[in-house]
């Protein structure tokens, strides 16, 4: 079997009512073979730019055996040597192709991808969803969800306190403050210490991830599990974060971490340091989510998977996702990833400007930068 082509689908997935960054795209990948078997993948990071990177990588993989996944990953890495080795553009491009290769191999052998990644440790993969108000939390509890992440950039402690009082102690809570550049180490420590009494599952990106030493200072000063890693790519991008035991939870993004095998390697390194894995999938589409479910079914140090409980209304026309019961995805038995892409629906929603174009949330961020103390009031 040989690879004959790599196709991409850039899909405008901006949710109703808009997105804080202005817009959002999903980038789907389809790797075709001369045997009539194809595989699906998904890439993130900077979708329109990553799409161009995938087009540049297509000649690197065409004509090759799709089952030689590690070989093809190394070949793509070498092809990008002059462009930087661990950036999200290259990582995203390799990710989209690599996931599709696993889908092909599973279909060829007639087994689900999780069986190729070591076999499942669990048949159900727990997810968390997003809620920052008691009203939204109670709505989601009625639908069976048992863990929420809130966005508390302006009043993080107040937001968590309100949610904890509303949902009680049986629901897990976590918070993401998104590591803004004006959220200083003293800010992050002060907020983290105030959050200790609320028994959080994790405190995500308390400071910008570019300076690992800043995160280490926060870790030494607070008693709340720290999570970080959605902006990192490949095993090399996670190495120092894990080796220095700075965080309690790593969050590789399934669309840009470098592929399922790279995520498996990151998870193995984290396991040796007793660090848990909770992939970042909040801005991704259903193909990356399906891939994450397969991988998380195999990891001994899996904690929880991010899930968008309500997304674009046509999401389930695009791909029929796995059954979701009591805040858990049911791991499928179908060959490969166990999903099919409705290409007509994908083409009906062509991608627009990149997801990080200035949007309504930018004004709040800029104004907050001018009054940083207001930003972190409890």
Task: Point out the residues that are catalytic.
Answer: 178, 280
Torsion of CA 288, 289, 294, 295, to 10 degrees: 70
Q: What is the largest CA-CA distance in the chain?
A: 61
Q: Exposed, middle or buried, 124 (CB in 10 Å: 0-12/13-18/19+)?
A: middle
DSSP character at residue 10:
E
CB 233 within 8 A of CB 88: yes
In this structure, are strands 147-151 and 172-176 parallel, antiparallel, or unpaired?
Answer: parallel
Nearest CA to 288 among 8, 125, 99?
A: 99
Gap between the Cα atoms of 250 and 274, Å rounded = 11
Listed in sequence order, the residues at least 6 apart from 114 whose beta carbon sits closer than 8 Å to its beta carbon are 120, 294, 295, 297, 298, 331
Listed in sequence order, the residues at least 6 apart from 303 whose beta carbon sits closer than 8 Å to its beta carbon are 201, 249, 276, 277, 278
Burial letters 278-314, b for 16+ CB under 10 A, else e: bbbbbbbbbbbbbbbbbbbbbbebbbbbbbbbebbee
Give alpha helix (H) positions in the chain.
47-61, 69-79, 88-109, 113-116, 134-142, 156-167, 185-195, 212-221, 234-243, 260-272, 286-296, 315-318, 343-347, 360-370, 372-375
């Amino acid at each position: 079997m040989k690879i004959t082509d790599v196709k991409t689908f850039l899909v405008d997935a901006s949710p109703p009512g808009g997105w804080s960054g202005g817009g959002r795209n999903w980038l789907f990948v389809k790797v075709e073979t001369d045997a009539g078997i194809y595989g699906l993948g998904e890439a993130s990071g900077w979708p329109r730019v990553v799409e161009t990177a995938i087009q540049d990588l297509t000649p690197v993989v065409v004509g090759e055996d799709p089952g030689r996944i590690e070989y093809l990953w190394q070949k793509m890495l070498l092809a990008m040597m002059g462009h930087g080795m661990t950036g999200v553009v290259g990582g995203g491009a390799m990710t989209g192709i690599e996931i599709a290769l696993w889908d092909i191999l599973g279909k060829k052998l007639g087994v689900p991808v999780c069986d190729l990644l070591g076999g499942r440790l669990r048949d159900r993969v727990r997810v968390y969803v997003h809620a920052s108000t008691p009203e939204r939390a109670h709505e989601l509890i009625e639908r069976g969800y048992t863990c929420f992440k809130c966005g508390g950039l302006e009043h993080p402690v107040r937001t968590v306190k309100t949610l904890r009082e509303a949902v009680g102690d049986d629901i897990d809570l976590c918070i993401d403050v998104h590591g803004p550049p004006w959220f200083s180490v003293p800010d992050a420590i002060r907020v983290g210490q105030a959050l200790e009494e609320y028994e959080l599952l994790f405190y995500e990106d308390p400071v910008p991830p570019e300076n690992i030493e800043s995160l280490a200072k926060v870790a030494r000063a607070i008693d709340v599990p720290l999570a970080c890693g959605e902006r990192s790519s490949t095993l090399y991008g996670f190495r120092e974060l894990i080796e220095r035991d700075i965080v309690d939870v790593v969050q590789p993004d399934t669309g840009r971490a470098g592929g399922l095998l790279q995520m498996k390697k990151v998870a193995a390194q984290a396991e040796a340091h007793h660090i848990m894995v909770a992939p970042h999938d909040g801005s991704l589409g259903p193909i990356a989510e399906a891939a994450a479910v397969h991988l998380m079914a195999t990891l001994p140090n899996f904690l929880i998977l991010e899930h968008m409980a309500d997304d674009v209304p046509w999401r389930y026309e695009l791909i029929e996702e796995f059954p979701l019961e009591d805040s858990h995805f049911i791991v499928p038995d179908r060959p490969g990833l166990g999903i099919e892409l409705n290409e007509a629906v994908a083409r009906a929603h062509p991608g627009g400007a990149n997801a990080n174009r200035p949007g309504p949330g930018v004004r709040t961020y800029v104004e907050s930068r001018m009054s940083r103390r207001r930003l972190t009031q409890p």
